[in-house]
C-alpha cells in the first residue's frame, strides 16, 4: 500500500470522543499562552522579580522551572493520548518509519543545541526580566533555522506520532505547529521591541556622556 493510500485510509482513525486527546489539545494550547501572558506581565510589572526580592535572575529561573515542568506534563499527556488512540498499521512503512527517526533525531538536535547556545535565561524569556543578550545569536542552529526551538519541538512530536502509527498524533502535531506559529506572532515583535528600547536607551546614555559640558563664563556666573 502506498503512502497516499495509507493517508486516505487512516485519516479518520481518530477517536475524538476520547477525553484524553482533548486534554492533550488543552495542554498544547495552554503552555505558550501561559508563558506569553506571564512573561509580558513580568516585563510590565516585575511581579515575579518582586517575589524574589528584586532578583530578576532568580525570577527567570523560577519561570524556567515552571515552563519546563509544564512541557514535561504536555509531553506525557500527548504520549498517553497517542498510545490510547487507534493505530494505522499502514503507517508501519519503511519510509514513514525512517522519516519518524529522522524527525525525532533532528528535532532533538535543534532543541538541545538551541538551549545550549542560549542558556537558561536566553531560552526561558530572560529578555522579559531585563536579562538581555549582547547580540543576536547567529551560530548553529540559528544559522539554518530561524526558530529551531519551536520547529524542533514540532519535529519531535511528529516523529513520535509516525513512530507510534498514530493518525491522532499527526493531528496533534499539526496543532502544536499552528499554536507555535500564533505564539511567534506575539513573541517576535514584542521581543524585538525590548531590544530596540535597550538600544535606544544605550544610544541616549552614550550621547549624554559624550556631550561636553558647557564652559562657564563670567556672564553665566
Any idea which residue has 498544547 for its cell? 28
Nearest to 184 by CA among 143, 146, 158: 146
Q: Is 188 annotated as a binding residue?
A: yes
Any idea which residue has 475524538 for its cell? 16
Q: Give, in degrees to the nearest 5, the angle at Cα 154 between 152 and 156.
A: 70
Q: Is 38 annotated as a binding residue?
A: no
Q: Is 71 annotated as a binding residue?
A: no
Q: Is 14 annotated as a binding residue?
A: no
Burial of 136 (C-beta count, 10 Å sphere; 0-12/13-18/19+): exposed
Q: Is 107 annotated as a binding residue?
A: yes
| CA distances for 109 relative to 8, 103, 116, 124, 183, angstroms | 32, 10, 10, 18, 22
Separation of alpha carbons 97 and 164, rounded Å: 9
Separation of alpha carbons 95 and 67, rounded Å: 34
Question: Which triple of cell numbers denotes residue 103?
Answer: 524527525
Separation of alpha carbons 17 and 21, rounded Å: 8
Q: Are 125 and 63 in contact (CB under 8 A)?
A: yes
Residue set of the binding site for S-adenosyl-L-methionine: 105-107, 187-188
Residue set of the binding site: 105-107, 187-188
Amino acid at each position: 500500500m502506498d503512502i497516499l493510500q495509507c493517508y486516505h485510509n487512516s485519516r479518520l482513525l481518530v477517536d475524538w470522543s476520547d477525553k484524553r486527546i482533548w486534554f492533550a489539545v488543552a495542554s498544547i494550547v495552554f503552555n505558550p499562552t501561559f508563558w506569553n501572558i506571564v512573561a509580558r506581565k513580568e516585563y510590565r510589572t516585575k511581579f515575579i522579580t518582586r517575589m524574589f526580592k528584586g532578583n530578576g535572575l532568580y525570577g527567570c529561573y523560577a519561570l524556567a522551572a515552571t515552563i519546563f515542568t509544564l512541557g514535561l506534563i504536555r509531553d506525557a499527556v500527548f504520549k498517553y493520548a497517542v498510545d490510547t488512540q487507534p493505530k494505522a498499521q499502514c503507517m508501519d512503512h519503511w519510509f514513514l518509519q525512517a522519516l519518524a527517526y529522522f524527525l525525532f533525531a533532528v528535532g532533538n538536535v535543534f532543541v538541545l543545541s538551541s538551549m545550549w547556545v542560549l542558556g537558561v535565561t536566553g531560552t526561558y524569556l530572560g529578555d522579559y526580566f531585563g536579562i538581555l543578550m549582547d547580540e543576536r545569536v547567529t551560530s548553529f542552529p540559528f544559522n539554518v533555522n530561524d526558530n529551531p526551538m519551536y520547529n524542533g519541538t514540532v519535529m519531535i512530536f511528529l516523529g513520535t506520532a509516525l513512530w507510534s502509527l498514530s493518525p491522532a498524533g499527526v493531528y496533534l502535531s499539526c496543532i502544536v505547529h499552528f499554536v507555535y506559529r500564533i505564539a511567534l506572532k506575539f513573541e517576535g515583535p514584542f521581543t524585538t521591541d525590548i531590544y530596540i528600547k535597550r538600544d535606544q536607551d544605550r544610544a541616549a546614555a552614550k550621547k549624554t556622556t559624550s556631550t561636553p559640558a558647557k564652559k562657564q563664563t563670567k556672564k553665566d556666573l
